[in-house]
Chains A and B, each alone.
Chain A
Amino acid sequence: MRRAAFNALISHWRKHPVQLVSLLLGLALATALWSGVQAINAEARASYDRAAGILGQDELQRLEPRAGTIPLADYIKIRRAGWLASPVMDGAINLNEAQARLIGIDPLTTPPQSSPVDLSGDGDLQAFVMDGLLFAHPETAAQIPDTLPLVRATDTLTPGIIITDLSTASELLGTDNFARLILAPEQPINLPPLSEVAPNLLLVAPEEGNDIARLTDSFHLNLTAFGLLSFGVGLFIVHAAIGLAFEQRRPLFRTLRALGLRKSTLLGLLASELFALALIAGTLGVALGYLVAAALLPDVAATLRGLYGAQVSGALTLDPAWWLSGLAIALLGTAVAGAQSLWRTAQLPILAPAQPRAWAIASLKSLKRQAVAGVGLIAVAALLAAHGSGLTIGFVLLGCLLVGAALTLPLFLHFSLNLASRFSRTALSDWTLADTRQQVPGLSLALMALLLAMAANIGVGTMVSSFRVTFTGWLDQRLAAQLYVTARDQAEAEALAQQLDGAVDAILPIRYIEAQIEGAPGQVYGIIDDITYRENWPLLAAAPDVWDRLAAGDGALINEQLSLRESLTPGDTVRLGPVQFTVLGVYSDYGNPRGEAILSLDQLRAQGAQIEGLNFALRLPETRVGEVTELLTNAGLPARNIRDQAAIKAFSLDVFERTFTVTGALNVLTLGVATLALLTSLLTLSTMRLPQLAPVWAMGLTREKLARLELLRAVILAALTALVALPVGLALAWVLLAIVNVEAFGWRLPMALFPGDWIGLFVAALIAAALSAAWPAHRLATRPAADLIKVFAHER
């Protein structure tokens, strides 16, 4: 009985292959986008964990300088006092086409649990200490020039990191100072306190180590939100397909029940059917998700490098848990999408009418109920916007806004078409509008998906474009100098400064130290008093006479990130290392995840830290850039140490564009899924619409004309949906710029409007709708007359 009943149930899919394909494709795409994003997040987090695990930063305490680096003398003092500490050098070196972080360790004093590389092989230790063996991730190892010593590739390291012995690191980095000291977990007893032995050093607890993971949390939350949005849009297709399949099988359910099948058995069979479909689609979706992740990961890695300096491998390595979680989300999605249909079936009386209830026709009353719920959600969103704060509230607000707008869409379409019909003057336009209105309930899920995709597109597009405009303007201001020069050592720096004196309008030294700012790692810059800063530096808030007071050493400028994170405004005090300064101004600093401050150069020097003076910015007329570049090259400075303004701007803009490649790609994919939702709905409805179209055909409208009207109908609905999507998208952009980004990145951007982009998207939506309707319309245009005649001969 069960087998026969199951066969009868699944025979539906043989008869309705389009429904089957739309269900499987919808679920597969939803799963693919979700699991693809999860794969990217998992890969990135694994990279952060590997990075954080280097030298046991996630397990061991360490000593860091309050500012600058740790001199050898300080290390010796700590060792002599009996503390078991291992020195670490840390700096950047240039590879063939990129930079890498070079970490130098002392393998003899490094605590075993913090050793980042395995030196247990024969001769490994000797090669490491004596021959300068370098360890690096295969991607990084491939970029190390042949001029460097022995290189060994290992998967245990994060890309962008090279591990070597202290002596090799000292040679390559050109310094004898240490970045930090790792403390062994077991220390001798009765040691003098570190505050006495090394008052300039700061004891950092292990849990503070994984800054990158903390910094990038918000970025990954953004990605997850996008994945969730795509998953939701995909579920619209699944919900529609399952709902229709259940509705069309109501007569069969009744027959099976009348033949003695228990309700529980029927529900069990239907649930099994959904489970099987979810497994098939889930497997397909997870495989697609792998491809999506593999395609997007290089750009995500570039984004994370550009925004946070986080090194993430561009290659995907996934564990079985990810595959299982992908299948689980497919099953969960199917359960959510099918729950309502199963519930309805459970409530179905055995003698319910055999005629399928008009699936596509919902009463105006239910549309109104739905719209009231939508308005309620929008009101909640407004309340949260007015009184809420924080990233989670931001995403809840986005959810309320998007779902609320989607729920109100069908009623808006209904009334808009009603209004339009008042101005209609011909029978054909009367019918077209009335028929379109009648189609709204059947297409509402697909149109809601389109609304969400378009609103996300407008919202994210506005955010990115606002960012681009602000960022470009900011770059123009901040990169005021025409040339940026890096000397190879202090002697060369001094020689160059002498040579350039008089040859350029101004030499602006670029000096900074690594320091604890309000207890978190950051950079403190020192600048000279120059008109360049007064004219160009982008200040968001400033105390009176800010530049005069900065030059006089009265205080510090801080970046926007630090200002927002610590709620600091001009007049407050900020702690830079051990010293407190008055905040004189706040400047915008896009793309920098960390806190940053600016002092006068004299003030910076007064902090007692050792500052390297290798970098300069040069002000000179544009026409003399070539001449000065030649002068520097002739002085022996390699070309790669001289960068002009245009090159730096181009590099920064490239980083910017790559940063938003992923969001752009997800935007397009979401719009694609929505188009597919519309296509599958239109295809499904097209077979159900013959009874509405056949009488009009019989009264003298050709199938071609009816097909054109079908296209027009889809375009009208997409256009009306786009009208709703615009304000929703702008509200979304506002939430992203004013709430989510402030929390996620630490800076707030002015919102700019881009009507040209809206028109582009509007046209894209119309094209998407026309493409979605093209196949059903073509089927109608070429449908045999006999199919239409059948409508008159048989009961519907």
Chain B
Amino acid sequence: MLQVENLTKTYPSEDGVQTVLGGVSLSLDAGESLALTGESGSGKSTLLTLVAGLDHPDGGTIRFQNHDLTHLDDAARADLRRGQIGVIFQQFNLIPSLDVAANIAFHARLSGQADADWCETLAERLGLAGHLTRYPEQLSGGQQQRVAIARTLAARPKLVLADEPTGNLDEDSSDIVLDLLIEGVRETGAALLMVTHSLRQAEKLDRRLHLSHGRISP
């Protein structure tokens, strides 16, 4: 489903060009979950943004569902994100002007896959049923991240990308939210690629890859 081959990415810096990814390769099958671990600055988040089509690599290929992301233009990558890829961020990044119900349904409605029953089920399952008319600023961090997960799952993406989804939460909340994410992803049959610092959390996923200085290390 997802094949990343020899991916490279550099950024200009005051000391010259800084290599963030130095030839990363990985693959992910449908329904599979993969944890990406590594120290700060190892390139985990950069890899995720490239796979999401949010940024363009300097070299290598990213094949997803028979599409080569590296050869798609901005609009085509946006189409792919809208229809088949869901992204969950550490900062939740909910839409502050919409209430919880509208936030949950938003991505699904954008992709033309709105299913009110499914949204309701997700809200119920993620413990958000009592907060549907509230706005993001009125929720706790844990609640906001559950809304972000529900928003992604509501669109039934083929691939879920999560960048430290519990990084802003305390340990108890983290476990609850992560369990809900894994359960939801499995139920929808999506693949999950998750960036995390926590080895304990990484162990909950099917596989784990460690990134160090922009390269996969054994």
Contacts and interface: CB of A to CB of B under 8 A. Distances in A.
A430 B83 contact: no
B45 interface: yes
A792 B44 CA distance: 13
Q: Most chain-B Cβ atoms within 10 A of its Cβ — which of A427, A428, A705? A: A427
A438 B97 contact: yes
B107 interface: yes
Contacts of B97: 431, 434-435, 437-438, 692
Contacts, number: 89
A491 B97 CA distance: 87
Nearest to B79: A700
A537 to B, nearest CB: 65
Interface string A678-711: 0000000000000110111111111111000000
Contacts of A347: none
Interface string A755-794: 0000000000000000000000000000001101101110
Contacts of A696: 95
Contact of B106 (A431, A691, A694, A792): A431
B54 interface: yes
B139 interface: no
Contacts of B45: 792-793
A796 interface: yes
Contacts of B91: 791-792, 795-796
A241 B93 CA distance: 28
Interface string B150-162: 0000000000000
Contacts of B95: 431, 434-435, 692, 695-696
A426 interface: yes
Q: Most chain-B Cβ atoms within 10 A of its Cβ — which of A437, A701, A792? A: A792
Contacts of A697: 54, 78
A27 B95 CA distance: 35
B74 A789 contact: no
B49 interface: yes
Interface range for A: 20 to 34
B87 interface: yes
Nearest to A796: B91
Interface string B93-117: 1111110001001110111001000
Contacts of B75: 702, 704
Contacts of A437: 97
B106 A699 contact: yes
Contacts of A791: 91, 93
B56 interface: yes
B89 interface: yes
Contacts of B56: 785
B208 interface: no
Contacts of B102: 430, 434
B109 A426 contact: yes
Interface residues of B, number: 34
A700 B106 contact: no
B55 A699 contact: no
A698 B93 contact: yes
Contacts of B106: 427, 430-431, 699
Contact of A700 (B82, B90, B94): B82
B109 A700 contact: no
A788 B96 contact: no
Given A700-B82, A701-B78, A438 B109 contact: no
A427 B49 CA distance: 24
Given A427-B110, A698-B54, A703 B96 contact: no
Q: Most chain-A Cβ atoms within 10 A of its Cβ — which of B78, B80, B82, B114? A: B78
Nearest to A432: B97
Contact of B94 (A695, A785, A786, A788): A695
A778 B79 CA distance: 21
A427 B102 CA distance: 8
Contacts of A698: 52, 54, 81, 87, 89, 93
Interface string A696-729: 1111111111000000000000000000000000
Given A435-B95, A704-B75, 19 more contacts: A430-B98, A430-B102, A431-B106, A435-B97, A437-B97, A695-B94, A695-B95, A697-B78, A698-B87, A699-B81, A700-B78, A700-B80, A700-B82, A700-B110, A700-B111, A701-B110, A705-B78, A789-B54, A792-B93
Interface of B: 11, 45, 49, 52, 54-56, 74-75, 78-83, 87, 89-91, 93-98, 102, 105-107, 109-111, 114, 163
9 contacts: A426-B109, A437-B97, A698-B81, A699-B82, A699-B87, A700-B110, A700-B111, A792-B93, A796-B91
Q: Rank and list the top 7 A-B pairs by shortest CB-CB distance, nearest first.
A: A700-B82, A427-B109, A434-B97, A695-B93, A700-B81, A438-B97, A792-B89
